A and B are shown apart, each in its own frame.
Chain A
Amino acid sequence: DSGVTQTPKHLITATGQRVTLRCSPRSGDLSVYWYQQSLDQGLQFLIQYYNGEERAKGNILERFSAQQFPDLHSELNLSSLELGDSALYFCASSVSGLAARGDTQYFGPGTRLTVL
């Protein structure tokens, strides 16, 4: 158990819908990272937040957005869902100072999203 929690574990929804994935980082960790894992794209970085602020962006679609709240939990919002959005979505956290370089990232159990 990494100490990172994610809810829900599974999510099944229809195309065009909107969903929210939630992540609570390990106690004391200030940075939260979101990753998407699909069979064809592998494990891809989406976005990072540090202490409530967006720090780095990866291959995140405009239909996706995220935020980190004052209590440091984070939410990833996916809208206008398409079949291709079906994937495992992982959240990771790290202690991280401002630079966050070389920090260990601990992954949560993931949310499996299925879009029908």
Chain B
Amino acid sequence: QQPVQSPQAVILREGEDAVINCSSSKALYSVHWYRQKHGEAPVFLMILLKGGEQKGHEKISASFNEKKQQSSLYLTASQLSYSGTYFCGTEWAGGTSYGKLTFGQGTILTVHP
């Protein structure tokens, strides 16, 4: 089942902050965050693993609430380069997923000067 992202779109001025949420109805092993610019490849931002480990981008922070199966991506002091579509990809905790990611529908972030 596809995770649900909110909000669907965000418009910011440079320097403002934003939070993007990703919720799953299934127990998760990990949440992966990507940013994609139009027509380009998704670019890896961060992984949050069950148990609290995080791997990824130095300037972006995120959290993973295992009880709620929800992850949040925090974008602070936004820059023009932050514009794009943000996707969360979730990895199911059960069975043998072998890294299969199920992606949310995306959150479009637009940063204006």
Question: Which A residues have a C-beta under 8 Å from some C-beta of B?
Answer: 2, 4, 31, 33, 42-45, 48, 50, 55-56, 58, 88, 90, 94, 96, 99-110, 112
Contact = CB atoms under 8 A, between A and B. Distances in A.
A102 B103 CA distance: 15
B44 A106 contact: yes
Contacts of B104: 42
A1 B44 CA distance: 11
B84 interface: no
Given A43-B42, A43-B87, A107-B43, A102 B49 contact: yes
B98 A100 contact: yes
A48 B42 contact: no
Contact of B100 (A2, A4, A56, A90): A56
B96 to A, nearest CB: 8
B30 A101 contact: yes
A107 B98 contact: no
Interface residues of B, number: 30
B41 A108 contact: yes
Contacts of A109: 40-41
A102 B91 CA distance: 8
B99 interface: yes
A43 B44 CA distance: 14
Contacts of B47: 102, 104
A105 B101 contact: yes
B100 A45 contact: yes
B105 to A, nearest CB: 5
B41 A56 contact: no
Interface in B19-73: 29-30, 32, 34, 39-44, 47, 49, 53, 55-56
